[in-house]
Structure 1
Amino acid sequence: MDTTRFLVSAMTFLLAGFVKGVIGVGMPTVSMGILGSLMPPAQAAALLVVPSFVTNVWQMVGVPSLGALARRLLPLLLSVFVGTWLGSGWLTGAGTGMAMAALGAALVAYAGFGLAAVTLPRVPARHEWWLGATTGAATGLITAATDVFVIPAVPYLGTLGLSRDALVGAMGMSFLASTVALATVLGAEGAMAGGIAWGSALALLPALVGMGLGNAVRRRVRPETFRRWFFLALLVLGGQLLWRGVAGP
């Protein structure tokens, strides 16, 4: 990796970490949006593995009743692995543009509903096991195609009636499962070999610095402000993905 590409990658992970620190999502989307113009998608996804893993663990630290939350989300977390493995190879295939455009459109629609204060119905507890499993499998398939973990996991988590901190922790848990599943797939395909693994480890530092700054900002905003910026960020990220999917490389 030349000096220019290295500096751009470092600044990308700094920005992606900041976005994740503020709203709890966005590291893969921001990183893939920028790094995808510099390198093949599978290589960009491999660079994300270590920063994504560590920052998602950090995101879960301090969440109240984490064990109970994990048990509640178990169908979602397990099925993420199944969906990602079923979609193995999509990230390196030729049809990722359409999947990315569809994901972008879904993000824009979800953000629009959120900004319009449209409330999705709360999922009854008796339906969480099968709806969580279905959501996890779909999230895994989309992860395998785009290396973005948000849809449909985040909308589903928003229907569980979680507090702000619990929601951020639940997203971190879901994203961690997606990261581990994707790393397993990329490793099996040889995308994590040699310098890429070291590059992913080096990307951790700017990602952590950015996330620390983002966390400091998040603690100082009101819940209403947090919610508005959350959906605005999803709108921007979704628009960027939609544009990339339609415009192509």
Structure 2
Amino acid sequence: MEYLMAGLTPLAFVAALLITFFAGFVKGAIGFAMPMIMISAFSSFLPPETALAGLILPTLISNLTQAFRHGPGPVWATTITYRRMLISMVIFIVISAQFVRIIPQDLFLLLLGLPITIFAALQLAGVGLALRLEHRSRAEWMLGIISGLYGGLSGVWGPPVLVYLLSIKADKLETVRVQGVVFLIGAVVLLVAHLHSGVLTASTTAFSAVLVLPAMLGQSLGVAVQDRLDQSKFRRWTQILLVLTGLNLMRRAVGL
């Protein structure tokens, strides 16, 4: 049992389970924010590498189930529809990851968090900021590039995608599915990267695997809530979580 707990005290281990359950619930209800919640909470009582390792497998599995909830057909259709964003995102994740030790990460977190917070807050206030549909292809390329640049440098590539989906007024099911596909790609990249970085040791991998169960239980309950949310409520809660995501990114940028 101590091996599965990655050297944590029983209290810390139980806290990790509860935090993961809550993060899974939010993920199921809204479609994102699991890594943000887990890394923010874990960092307050876990070593940095253990905190990061702990979220890897729950994030991977939850995104897999989210993306494929309605079968492989819709996933393939989503991949084709948003191929420009996905292609540019993956390319620029690979490119920007090479500069992670050169460009200050705090600066990029601030530059990502500030516009996201402003955008979502304006939407909550009823200010329309939708992209013009005739520019959708160009927007996909640009948002994919931005997502990739930030993703490679900071490990955060979801918010720009969500900003785009809010701008084009994608419906609830499409929003959740697209997020699942994009985040799944990111989770696979994260897993492969840290198998080589040393973050995922035998012990931390076992710990991460244990956290999959509460994540899945929380996600299942969250999905039940999501199914009961109408389009307007879903959009509003997504905007609220996006504001919190942006604020959290700025908090990380200033070291709070």
| Fold conserved between structures, TM > 0.5 | yes
Larger radius of gyration: 2
1:169 Cα deviation from its structure 2 partner: 0.4
The answer to whether structure 1 residue 37 and structure 2 residue 44 are counterparts is yes
CA contact (8 A) 2:159 2:242 kept: no
Output one character per residue of 1:162-192: Cα deviation in whole Å (capped at 9) or x when no partner. 3210111011111111111222222232222
Relative distance call for 1:149 and 1:35 in structure 2 (3 A) is farther
Inter-partner Cα distance in structure 2 for 1:43 and 1:144: 20
The answer to whether structure 1 residue 216 and structure 2 residue 224 are counterparts is yes
Structure 1 match to 2:97: 88
Q: Please give the TM-score of this superposition, normalised by the length of structure 1.
A: 0.86
- Aligned pairs (5 A) from 1:153-232: 153-232=161-240
Determine what percentage of the aligned residue pairs are the same residue. Answer: 26
Structure 1 match to 2:25: 18
The answer to whether structure 1 residue 244 and structure 2 residue 256 are counterparts is no
Amino acid at match of 1:88: A
1:136 Cα deviation from its structure 2 partner: 2.3
Inter-partner Cα distance in structure 1 for 2:102 and 2:19: 24
Relative distance call for 1:67 and 1:212 in structure 2 (3 A) is same
CA contact (8 A) 1:81 1:181 kept: no
Segments of 4+ in structure 1 off by > 6 A?
89-94
Amino acid at match of 2:203: G
Output one character per residue of 1:64-111: Cα deviation in whole Å (capped at 9) or x when no partner. 733222111122223332222233377789943333333332332122
Match of 2:81 among 72, 77, 80: 72
Output one character per residue of 1:221-245: Cα deviation in whole Å (capped at 9) or x when no partner. 2222222122112222322332232
The answer to whether structure 1 residue 119 and structure 2 residue 128 are counterparts is yes
Relative distance call for 1:36 and 1:106 in structure 2 (3 A) is farther
The answer to whether structure 1 residue 59 and structure 2 residue 66 are counterparts is yes
Aligned pairs, number:
247
Amino acid at match of 2:107: M
Relative distance call for 1:127 and 1:244 in structure 2 (3 A) is closer
Amino acid at match of 2:110: A
Stretches of structure 1 that go unaligned for 5 or more consecutive residues are none
The alignment's C-alpha RMSD in Å is 2.6
